[in-house]
Chain A
Amino acid sequence: MMELTELRRLILGVIEKNSRIDVHELAVILGVTEVEVANELAEMEKEKVICGYHTLINWDNTSDERVTAMIEVQVTPQRGEGFDKLAERIYNFSEVKNIYLMSGGYDFLILLEEKTMRAVSQFVSEKLSTLEAVRATATHFVLKKYKDHGTILAEEHEDERMVITP
């Protein structure tokens, strides 16, 4: 496990919100050299602290249809197949966007993003439920996304401050 230095924490803090920032600007705003930033980034990529540089897309604002579903899954781990093995069988389906092992009333929470509801139900009935270890599933469809990855998706506030103040 990687020990996080103050600089690494600062870098992660910035790029978690803005992965497009370039090395030069990162170096400027953090008051270090570009070489230092590049080295830290490379190191954190290598150690799998940084696992990707994704874009947060609000598909609701496009003409493309997307259906997001959360699926609770109860499983009975088989002999020689713990939760991790089972999770692997599930996450290898490309439809699965996120999967978490949960405490509480069920075991896995799967986040699925598909083009249609039918595609979701097909995945659940044909691929997920047919796995031997899966005892039960409960599928919830997302009706509206308000906030995703810490970003509020509603329109931004206008700057209501007076233009000049002492």
Chain B
Amino acid sequence: MRNPLSNVVQEMKPSGIRKFFDIVSEMKDAISLGVGEPDFETPWHVREEGIYSLEKGRTFYTSNSGLKELKIEIAKYLARRFELKYDYSREVMVTVGGSEAIDLAIRAMVNPGEEVLIPMPSYVSYLPCVQLAYGVPVVINLKAENEFRLTKEELLEHITDKTKLLILPFPNNPTGAILRREDLEEIAKVCVEKDIFVVSDEIYAELTYYKERHVSIAEMPGMRERTVLINGFSKAYAMTGWRLGYACAPEQILSQMVKIHQFAIMCAPTTSQYAAVDALKNGDDDVRNMTQSYNQRRRFLLNEFKDMGIDCFEPYGAFYVFPSIKKFGMTSDEFATKLLEAEKVAVVPGTAFGQCGEGFVRISYAYSIERLKLAMSKLRHFISNL
């Protein structure tokens, strides 16, 4: 029999997080700090709207690019929260989570052999998506001394004649780093000058704790026409299981993304789309309350680390901290494994998000303060015995 598999797929590495997941899920009463989703349930009024849509029998496909009402609300939201203006009818589409939007954007824009810049550590799916599109992933290893921000110099160093696209994963999973307006201004200048497009994954845009709100690169001069903005409902509205995200881009790019979506997916789940309309209309207070809670937990963890003598830069986004464990003389993998064995506390090795995550672990604060307190006392015990 011939090999039934595609070479590209075979060469793709499975997610590094998988191995660790298997160990942790076997363990009884492990205290996990390993999740990448909110601990809050979806606000009740949003769930109720989903239930109502089912009661009304709204169980049919929506148009490929999404429910008109939802696209209108998305456009309004982006105008209200950021300085972003998109035409809901031609420049907005609803996707199955932010993940689908990432895949669509890359496939719509990358020709075989073209290079895609991927800053790392970052979310696990950018690199495989580029490979599946026959593009060439070019990793930019972000540095702890820059607090894992992407600098203009790092960007310039990696640009070649073949560079087509830059993935901009900020606020960042797993580091919690954000890009400030002044960082974005510099990056934007380079992109315009070198004629590079950007896929800006802003799924954590609502979850920032800096004195200024999140800024999108699409707000920078000359960037709107070369940016695919990706966001969604999972993180801000605690709607991970609803699988709903969206992409906004100039019509030239977006119409091609809709084409792929039309053939591969058809449309995002209808129930979720109706619920999401309510999230955008009535959810601002929920988002603010959840963000306040995350911020309190973030401060709590940073204070604990300081107290324990663990180095950690102050992250201003998402719900992760990314402390350095280099001083304990172990790899990230060893540290995470030993911590799990000794104290049953699960953290994710930084290397699951790229080789430059070596020496760091990702700790999620999508947990109650009580839970974090328990975990930190165990971590304290662990490192005092090293």
Number of inter-chain CB pairs below 8 Å = 57
* A22, chain B: closest CB distance, angstroms: 12
Question: Is A161 among interface residues, defined by CB-CB distance under 8 A?
Answer: yes
Closest B residue to A21 by CB, please name it: B369
Residues of B within 8 A of A143 (CB): none
Chain B, interface size: which category? Answer: 20 to 34
Closest A residue to B22 by CB, please name it: A164
Let me know if A165 and B297 touch, CB within 8 A.
Answer: no
Inter-chain CA distance A165–B295, complex, in Å, is: 21
Inter-chain CA distance A161–B30, complex, in Å, is: 13
Bits for B328-368, please: 1 = Cβ < 8 Å to A, else 0. Answer: 00000000000000000010100011000000000000000
Q: In the complex where A13-B292, A161-B35 touch, is A166 in contact with B123 (Cβ < 8 A)? A: yes
| Surface stretch bound by B, among A27-35, A62-70, A107-115 | A27-35
Let me know if A165 and B296 touch, CB within 8 A.
Answer: no
Let me know if A166 and B36 touch, CB within 8 A.
Answer: yes
Bits for B49-63, please: 1 = Cβ < 8 Å to A, else 0. Answer: 000000000000000
Known pairs A31-B295, A31-B299, A161-B37 / 18 extra A-B pairs, C-beta < 8 Å: A10-B292, A29-B296, A29-B299, A157-B41, A161-B39, A163-B24, A163-B34, A163-B346, A164-B20, A164-B24, A164-B25, A164-B346, A165-B35, A165-B37, A166-B15, A166-B123, A166-B125, A166-B353
Chain A to chain B contacts (Cβ below 8 Å), 22 pairs: A13-B292, A28-B300, A28-B303, A29-B299, A29-B300, A30-B299, A157-B41, A162-B21, A163-B30, A163-B34, A164-B25, A164-B34, A164-B348, A165-B17, A165-B21, A165-B36, A166-B17, A166-B123, A166-B124, A166-B173, A166-B352, A166-B353
Q: Which B residues form the contact surface with A (CB < 8 A)?
A: 15, 17, 20-21, 24-25, 30, 32, 34-37, 39, 41, 123-125, 173, 292, 295-297, 299-300, 303, 346, 348, 352-353, 369
